[in-house]
A and B are shown apart, each in its own frame.
Chain A
Amino acid sequence: MALLQLDRLTLRFGGLTAVNDVSISVERGQIFAVIGPNGAGKTSVFNAITGLYQPSSGCVRIDGRTVRALPEPADVVRWGLVGLATGLGAAVAINANTLWDAAINQSAHLQPFPWSTSWNALVASALQGPWTTVPLAIGAAIGVGAAWNAWRMGRCTPDAVARAGVARTFQNIRLFRDLSALDNVLVGMDRHLHARGWDAALRLPRHRREERDARETALRELEFVSLGTSAHLPAGSLPYGHQRRLEIARALATRPSLLLLDEPAAGMNPAEATKLMELIKRIRDRGITVVLIEHHMKVVMGISDRIAVLHYGNKIAEGTPAEVRANPQVIEAYLGKEELG
């Protein structure tokens, strides 16, 4: 089965159709390139895959399944609890003075304090009149409404997609600039770490061992993209080409089965581009399927197993590099129509 499948994907923003009825399927272990002139909708496709945009119609399947973050029972339960807390809170807040007077202030002078009498007085006072039931009912309504809304709004979110095994880089580099290169990679690894907050807060041995192992793995990941020597520099201070590679390392650290690269060779000189091609091949050799958007034709033709061409949101061609290169529609999209006569 195809690892990534776009099934008649359409994205509309107001009156503008950015992606129109595009179907693509990417097999495991492929390097798949999406090319097309500027504004063809390539990045929009990536954003739809990673859950930043919701498809207007059609769907994205990863490993045969549509990713959907919600409805998770936990989230619905959480909103139910919020409603309950609101109701109780409102009931208590409205009656706090009366309740406190009945339960505490009336018998505060007694020694020892009569807890059971006080509790009975509290309950009796709470059951009196509509000021308890009305806020409780309102709270219950809020809780049910919010839980229902959480259910209805259930959609695929970027974190759910990432947890399903899809990692990406961004066209305009989005690193955590104040964190060191190593920490950037460690953030990528986060979903494979298990230490809880209190382990960390008290520096329990479990947490320290996990951190040490994680650091080693992260360092190996940095060495994989030849950034081992820059591990402790802030990401924002790295040169541009290094930042691009660091973003790839961070994405690889999530241990994805599918890696989306958005213009990885942008702004690179020919030597750097050649090294990047090597890197992408090595990523593929690790068993990771790669989908890339690229304008650098040497890179695209050199490494891709298959290429899809987008033009004004429509897929106009798909095939091996040789097929795409020979396709008249593609030539027209890139170079314009030949003038006759």
Chain B
Amino acid sequence: MIPSVLSVASVASVASVARLSAFLLVALLPAIDLLLPTTWKFASLVPAIMVYAIIGLGLNLITGFTGLFNLGSAAFMAIGAYTFAILTCPIYPFQIGFFPGLLAATAMGGIAGLLLSLPVMRLRGDYVAIVTLGFGEIVQDVLKNLDAVTKGTQGLNPVAVPAMPGVSFSVGNYVPWYYLYLVLLIAVVWLCHNLRYSRLGRSWVAVREDELAARSMGLPTPWIKQIAFALGSALCATGGAMFASLAGTSIEPGFYDFQQSVIILCIVIVGGMGNITGVLLGACIMVGFNSIVLTKLTEMMSRNGWTGDNVLASPGNWKFMLYGIALILMMRLRPKGLLPAKEVPAELRYRDRDRDRDKAPAGAN
């Protein structure tokens, strides 16, 4: 009994130390980055990871907590980005600025999510995936064809950058973006954490675990699923708007394709479904690999002259092969993600006691 208690305590403290040091590292990264040689600086690429973390947290509400498999999250990202772009782009008369634009994008994503969830709420599993997959394709096509509004494949630009007294947000200087997006990310993490450990979060997990039992306990399950869908989509749209502001353009409709949805889904799966820390880790791994490791590798290879006609000479071409291998290994070795859900210490305790109980009869014999 005593060793098991010790191991539980050490698991908990290791986790909290790891979390604290990770937070300090992230908070001080721009300073640390100054010390790195020019070719190895990477902190300017980190705000994109934070954006994807927010989008991943949004999808986590839908897929991780509530268990609705959503393959259309890029569509909500697109809705957020385009709402934000239309409302802030100087070619249109609205020009409401960064923060109102962000709120409007969030609201628009929530409304779209609520509307999409109406036909989805009586479905489960694969069927939800098919509906959301179709929705993703529709949104892309609509954005392409509404060229009077969205300028088709050109995208809308420039879009608003954040305006705050005393701070200038520009393309050249990433530090203000870094800290603004960090604050927004922390706010979203806090919201998601509060929701998960509330009445609503319990209902979401209950629906995921056993919808029929949840319904028999008096929970209005269709409504609970709709709330999850609307909130998750709203967060995806927030992320889309933040990404558009960071990129300076709404980008083109083709950017928000199925691959984008799959990358977002991978963020949730790799880290551990339904685990907030896991989603943050997943965003670091998936987006960090894509936008930092591969970029640096490409730069290094071109510095050393390792280029050629071979497809493998460009690291960008390895991307999906490596994603594929990583997913296969994940599913084989850790199907519940790198960080399984929070119940781990309790489970460890149970396993210890279980082993003791299993041993007892053997000893008696």
Could you list which residues of chain A lie within 8 angstroms of chain B, going by C-beta atoms? Answer: 50, 52, 82, 85, 93, 96-98, 100-101, 104-105, 107-108, 113, 115, 118, 157-159, 161-163, 167-168, 170, 174-180, 183, 186-188, 190-191, 193, 195, 197, 199-203, 207, 211, 232-234, 237, 250-251, 254
Contact = CB atoms under 8 A, between A and B. Distances in A.
Nearest to B274: A178
Indicate the member of B93, B201, B216 with the most A CB atoms within 10 Å.
Answer: B216
A254 B210 contact: no
B209 A178 contact: yes
A212 to B, nearest CB: 12
Contacts, number: 133
A217 to B, nearest CB: 13
A101 B150 CA distance: 12
Interface in B309-333: none
Given A187-B214, A237-B346, A237-B350, A108 B199 contact: no
Contacts of B206: 176, 179, 187
B343 A159 contact: no
Contacts of B350: 233-234, 237
A200 B204 CA distance: 14
Contacts of B93: 104, 107-108, 113, 115, 118
A86 B78 CA distance: 21
Contact of B142 (A93, A108, A197, A200): A93
A190 B146 contact: no
A252 B148 CA distance: 59
Interface string B135-176: 000000010001111000000000000000000000000000
Query: Most B CB atoms within 10 A — which of A107, A188, A190?
Result: A190
Which 7 A-B residue pairs are closest in the complex by CB-CB distance?
A: A200-B198, A162-B218, A113-B93, A176-B209, A97-B148, A174-B213, A237-B350
Interface stretch (B40-48, B219-227, B296-304): B219-227
11 contacts: A105-B148, A158-B215, A158-B216, A159-B216, A162-B216, A174-B213, A178-B343, A187-B214, A190-B217, A203-B194, A234-B346
| Main SS at interface, chain B | helix
A277 B147 CA distance: 72
Nearest to B196: A200
Q: Which of B146, B148, B203, B349 has the most CB of A within 10 A?
A: B148
A157 to B, nearest CB: 7
Nearest to B93: A113
A170 B147 CA distance: 56
Contact of A96 (B148, B200, B217): B148
Nearest to A157: B215
B19 interface: no
B186 to A, nearest CB: 14
B201 to A, nearest CB: 8
B14 interface: no
Given A167-B216, A178-B343, 5 more contacts: A158-B215, A197-B200, A200-B201, A201-B191, A251-B217
B343 A180 contact: yes
B194 A202 contact: yes
A62 B177 CA distance: 60
Contact of A200 (B147, B149, B194, B341): B194
Contacts of B195: 197, 200-201
Interface string B181-207: 000000000010011001111110110
Chain B interface extent, by class: 35 or more
Contacts of A50: 216
A161 B221 CA distance: 14
Contact of A175 (B198, B201, B210): B210
B92 A254 contact: no
Contacts of A118: 93
B212 A187 contact: no
B147 A187 contact: no
B5 interface: no
Contacts of B220: 159
Contacts of A168: 216
A108 B91 contact: yes
B293 interface: no
A234 B217 contact: no
Contacts of A104: 92-93
B347 interface: yes
B31 interface: no
Contact of A167 (B194, B201, B210, B217): B217
A115 B92 CA distance: 12
Contact of A176 (B194, B205, B221): B205
Contacts of B210: 174-177
Contacts of A251: 217
A237 B357 CA distance: 14
B18 interface: no
A42 B115 CA distance: 41
Contacts of A113: 93
A237 B347 contact: yes
B218 A101 contact: no
A170 B214 CA distance: 12
B343 A234 contact: yes
Nearest to B119: A82
Contacts of A107: 93
Nearest to A181: B346
A167 B264 CA distance: 40
B347 A234 contact: yes
B125 to A, nearest CB: 17
B346 A200 contact: no
B12 interface: no
B92 A175 contact: no
B215 A159 contact: yes
